[in-house]
Amino acid sequence: MESSRGGDSEGQMHVLAVDDSSVDRAMIAKLLRSSKHKVTAVDSGKKALELLGLEPNVDMIITDYWMPEMTGYELLKIVKESSELREIPVVIMSSENVPSRIDRCLEEGAEDFLLKPVRPSDVSRLCSRMR
């Protein structure tokens, strides 16, 4: 069976949420699910890459910037350098508003940069852009 990007038959988007904080992970997953998206949540960039290797039919990756082992920025670079994954939009989240960091992420190909706490309006803006 061939997998295709763009969600399942109900038009549901599959979002991979990556955050080392269980509280933030639960919050972003809840926001996305309330917008009727399928969410897979993992606690590290390494786990995100493992999952993407197994199940590349992810429509969007939303990742925390600051995580141990691999930052969201490093995850973004790996995704954008991969021929299989580079089409997946990556959104970076951070609780720190550092313009130079935001610019660097956007220059590397991030779709957007959200400041935590992420609000429902951020999610609806993102999702409307993904349609």
Q: List the chain pLDDT tens, one digit each, 131 residues.
A: 334 444 444 678 899 999 999 999 999 999 999 988 999 999 999 999 999 998 768 999 999 999 999 999 999 999 999 999 999 999 999 999 999 999 999 999 999 999 999 999 998 888 777 76
> Are 29 and 42 in contact, with CB atoms under 8 Å apart?
no
Give the residue from 15, 96, 106, 103 showing the smallest Cα distance to 63: 15
pLDDT at 127: 77
pLDDT at 12: 83
User: Taking CA 65 as the corner, what is the angle to CA 64 and CA 70, rounded to the nearest 5 degrees?
Assistant: 95
In order of 19, 96, 116, the CA distances from 120 in angstroms are 18, 19, 11
pLDDT at 54: 86
Strand 112-115 relative to strand 38-42, pairing: unpaired
Quote the DSSP letter at residue 118.
P
